Amino acid sequence: MIGLELLLLIFLVFCAIATVLCKRLISSIIIFMAYSAVMSLVWFLLQSPDLAITEAAVGAGMTSLLFFLTLQRINQLKGLEQDEDNTKR
Amino acid sequence: MKTTQNDNGWFRRILQWASESESEGADAPEDPEKQEFQEYLEYIDAHDYIEFGAYRYMRYQQRKELGLDEPTSHYTAEPPTPQKKQKGKKSHHKQGVLRKQLRWYQVASVLITCVIFWILCLVVMELPEFGALDAPAWNEVVQRYLQQGREETGAVNAITGMILEYRAFDTFGESVVLFAAAISTILLLRTPNQPLRQRKAGDEILKELSKYLLPIILLFGFYVILYGHISPGGGFSGGAILGAALILASLILGAGEVGRVLTSKRVTYITVFSLLTYAVMKFYSFYTGANHVGWEIPKGEAGHLFSGGFLLPLNLCVGLIVACTMYTFYTLFIPTEEE
């Protein structure tokens, strides 16, 4: 159990650093989602299931959804659409 | 393709120029706007500060004098001579200092981050160990909540008892904050007589998966809300799940389909109704000073849904408010088609 907790905590630190250092905004948001999902596991291991549910729903679900909407709003998802167009051709 | 030229904001252009790196991508040198802006930055760096519009007008005049065919095309002649300084006005701009300042900002941001990281590490070192008996968080409040929480609030789940009974007023305030946020967003972003936003429906994989996932997510959201007083969960987390399910539904079915059922008027009505119900149901608590004199509530039992007294409808109210607020945010922030 201690090993699992250590693994999760190391993954958390790795995710937190990768979120900041990522070049593309969309990949850093996805890494942030992974961070929240692992964080909810850690909450569960710390015996607070209420927080785990809230973290999974709000942190991994709602926050990143709103981030995606914001990216769409400020036209940062355009690169992806261009890639899709290129692959179609 | 027209919009790709405006992809990079001013800020990014300035940063790129400050780090002296050639902009990525093959189309960068062909972008006349970007090149013009870089020339402008170099001009005010070398000479004196003037407005960007004034600079453009000056160049336009020069181009006209030179007799170029297209005054708006890329400008290749020598940069214009600076205007003479007005003697009375003192200029705050030193020449060549802008580039240095921008670089200094980057260094300063790294430094500030390092200092904050160091301070946080120091604080973490000072924290008591997890589960230590002499931790300041372990005091009479926790003992009372854990030992007498069920008798006093009727909730098997101590957290719900805390949120909806001991801290009921806080929860009411949070719900009001959410309601105010949703209302002000509606006031700011919704324009009346706007046609329904039609989005092309999602792709096939999303549709087929969501057919099976959506009912389960909705059911789980209601479960988390309704069983909040006897198992982990509660209004806020369940409401967030419900809101996510609504957003998913509007992603597959198209925002217009869901928007026909849940118009912004109806969503606002639901939110106001839930808030008022919450206030009325907690009124006895607020009125008696949270002592519940003469209003003893039935105690909750594990496994019995209708056992916690008012806790179940209170949880439902909070959950509906949260779900409606999330859905409102989503519907107001989806971009329209013509953008």
| Closest residue in A to B328 (Cα–Cα) | A66
ipTM above 0.85, yes or no: no
Query: CB-hemisphere CA count at 13 Å for B338?
Result: 4
Q: What is the pLDDT of residues B192-218, one digit of tens each?
A: 555 555 555 567 888 888 888 999 999
Residue B228: pLDDT band with limits 50, 70, 90: confident
Is position B149 within any domain?
no
**Alpha-carbon gap, residue B98 to B321, rounded angstroms:** 49
Q: What is the pLDDT of residues B153-183, one digit of tens each?
A: 777 888 888 888 888 888 889 999 989 988 8
Is position B296 within any domain?
yes
Q: How many CB pairs under 8 A join A and B?
A: 51
Residue B264: pLDDT band with limits 50, 70, 90: confident
Query: Does residue B61 sit in the same domain as residue B163?
Result: no
Contacts of A61 in chain B (CB under 8 A): 240-241, 244
Token pair 């960007």 is at which residue?
Answer: B52
Hey, are the CB atoms on A69 and B334 less than 8 Å from each other?
A: yes
**Alpha-carbon gap, residue A39 to A11, rounded angstroms:** 10
- Find the domain containing B275 and state its range: 154-333
The residue-averaged pLDDT of A84-89 equals: 51
How close, in Å, is residue A75 to chain B by CA atoms? 7
How close, in Å, is residue B334 to chain A by CA atoms? 6
DSSP designation for A34: H
Is position B171 within any domain?
yes
Query: Does residue B183 sit in the same domain as residue B270?
Result: yes
Is position B109 within any domain?
no
Locate B213 and state its tokens.
Answer: 């996932």
Q: B145 Cβ partners below 8 Å, 6+ apart?
A: B158, B161, B162, B166
Judge contact between B221 and B242, C-beta under 8 A: yes
Q: Is B290 exposed, middle or buried (0-12, 13-18, 19+ CB in 10 A)?
A: middle
Is position B259 within any domain?
yes
Token pair 């919450």 is at which residue?
Answer: B278
Query: Does residue B175 sit in the same domain as residue B318?
Result: yes
Tell me if chain A has a CB within 8 Å of the CB of B136.
no
Query: What is the number of domains present in chain B?
Result: 2
Hey, are the CB atoms on B159 and A69 less than 8 Å from each other?
A: no
Query: Does residue B88 sit in the same domain as residue B168?
Result: no
CB atoms within 10 A of CB B315: 28
Q: Is the pLDDT of residue A50 over 80?
A: yes
Tell me if chain A has a CB within 8 Å of the CB of B244.
yes
Token pair 């959950």 is at which residue?
Answer: B319
The amino acid sitting at A54 is: T
